[in-house]
Amino acid sequence: MNPLLTVHGMRKRHGERLLFEIDRLELAAASAYVLTGVNGAGKSTLLRMLAGLERCEACAVEFEGRSMPLHPYPMELRRAIVFVHQHPIMFSTSVFHNIAYGLLARGDSRRAVAPVVEEAMRWAGVAHLVDTEPARLSGGEKQRVALARARVLQPRLLLLDEPTANLDGPAREQVMALIPTLLDAGSSVVMACHDRDLIGLPGIHRLKLRDGRLEYR
């Protein structure tokens, strides 16, 4: 497998407590990983550091063979890595605009964005919700809109924080069905989760945070 992202020297403290110290984290291209560990082990923090949402001063990164620091966070990684929160934030506009937001922020025209967003809504199974106020969406619908919003950006690496947490059976299954199709588009995916069904999906590599160290399973 070709390496996509390699990070050296990930270290995080909360006050006097060392949350984790990871000498080397390597993620392959077009591969899926689950990141497990007990509550408080630092799973979400690790993903946020990879996404540039938490500072990692001493980290060194190799992205597709090119070396760069992780702080200040490089624009190349900002365009290549997308983070989806456990409780996605929905703008009080429309489902269409929520999915289009990142593309419009990049400067793409609404005319160019429209067919991309429409295809993403069909992919996520939310096309029928196009006129629904985002505040009225269920938890599973919000998660699928958030995945569509991430997918249209064509990320090289997608970071999902507990994507199926707090979802009921049908909503959980709908979200789970979307995960393998992200790999088909060439993205790598890392999911922090406790969901045994996600962990057991075919072809998933397992990473575990235990006692401040990262184990490969």
Residue 115, domain CATH = 3.40.50.300
Do strands 213-216 and 204-210 pair parallel, antiparallel, or not at all (unpaired)?
A: antiparallel
As a whole number, mean pLDDT of residues 14-25 equals 91
Q: What is the pLDDT of residue 42?
A: 94
Q: According to the model, what pLDDT value does residue 57 have?
A: 73
Average pLDDT, the chain: 93
pLDDT confidence of residue 182: 87
Q: Of all helices (H) and strands (E), which one includes residue 102?
A: helix 95-105
Contacts 24+ apart (CB under 8 A), 98-101: 98/134, 98/145, 98/149, 99/145, 99/148, 99/149, 99/152, 100/152, 101/149
User: pTM score, two decimals?
Assistant: 0.94
**DSSP symbol at 127:** G
pLDDT at 186 over 80: yes
- Cα torsion 178, 180, 182, 185 to 10°: value is -130
Residue 114 to residues 17, 72, 98, 120, 125: CA-CA distances in angstroms? 48, 33, 12, 10, 16
Query: Helices then strands (H, E): number in the chain?
Result: 7, 10
Question: How many structural domains compose the chain?
Answer: 1
Cβ pair 124, 148 in contact under 8 A: yes
Matching residue, tokens 């984290």: 25
Judge whether residue 143 has pLDDT over 90: yes
Q: Checking DSSP bridges between strand 32-36 and strand 3-14, what pairing results, if any?
A: unpaired
For residue 190, give its domain range.
3-216
| pLDDT recorded at residue 209 | 96
